Amino acid sequence: MNSTTVSAADSQERKSLGLENAASPFSLLVLVSGQIYLFWLVASSRSTFTQAMLMTCVECLCVWLLTTLFFSRTWSGFFSRCRELLIMAIVLMMLLAVFAYLDLAWAPAGALMSFDEMRAALTVARFQYGLAYILIMTLGWLVMAWQSGQARMWWAANVAAPASATFAAMFMALAAGWILIFVPGVLEGGLDKIGVHVNHIDQALRDIAPIVLLVVYCLTRVVISWKMAAMFTPEDWRKIEAKFYFDAV
């Protein structure tokens, strides 16, 4: 009985990808570089917060597309991941729409988005900024995966698995965005009773809101990714492997 149990455990272990052995904190260098680039774009007014999130959405889709190609070893696995890619795209579009609404809500009072501003968002320069971000992230990770000597395992542990951190960071930024929208109203309702006007506070919050949300997003993503790389136990990795890489050989 004991020998049978040990044999089954050994067989299961051999089937495991061993993601915990490929987890590398060095992948955070690429992630941090990309987040610093996003921060520079928004802080220098070269991109809006929504455009920065659009770059992140494209990055998510590229990562999962590459994951689908790397890890699908059966047609059922391939189509399952394609379905997840479609669902991911829909969720990202919904989040992007909300971020765009927040950007409009932070605009100066009475300001409307003109056709010229909409066209400006699609200029060659803006496209190049987004392309540079995608290249920093995906090419950086691909190179590190190739140099690791175990490319598929490295990609799974350091790129595909932490993809959930991106969604967690987006939801944190979304929550922070709604808080920043409602704070001026709450303050105004309270301070008006004692004769204090908060118009300057409202405008200050509008000015810093994109940077605050980007900081919340970047810090959340980096911290969660670092925790996965440095603190996850073998059991944590086995659960991730069973969920995402069910047909990997």
Q: What is the pLDDT of residue 4?
A: 45
Q: What is the pLDDT of residue 37?
A: 94
Does the structure show a pLDDT above 90 at 242? no
Q: How confident is the model at residue 89 (pLDDT cuts 50, 70, 90)?
A: very high
Q: What is the mean pLDDT of residues 155-174?
A: 89
Which whole number is the average pLDDT over 215-235? 88
Check residue 92 and give its pLDDT. Answer: 93
Give the pLDDT score at 123: 61
Specify which of 82-91, 95-104, 126-135 reaches the highest per-range mean pLDDT: 82-91
Q: What does the pLDDT read at residue 184?
A: 63
pLDDT score of 39: 93
Is residue 6's pLDDT more than 70? no
pTM, 2 dp? 0.79
Amino acid at 127: F
What average pLDDT does range 236-242 have in this prediction?
77
Mean pLDDT of the chain, nearest integer: 78
Question: Residue 158: is its pLDDT beyond 70?
Answer: yes
What integer is the mean pLDDT of 64-79?
Answer: 81
pLDDT (average), residues 27-46:
91
**Would you call 57 exposed, middle or buried from its count of C-beta atoms within 10 A (0-12, 13-18, 19+)?**
buried
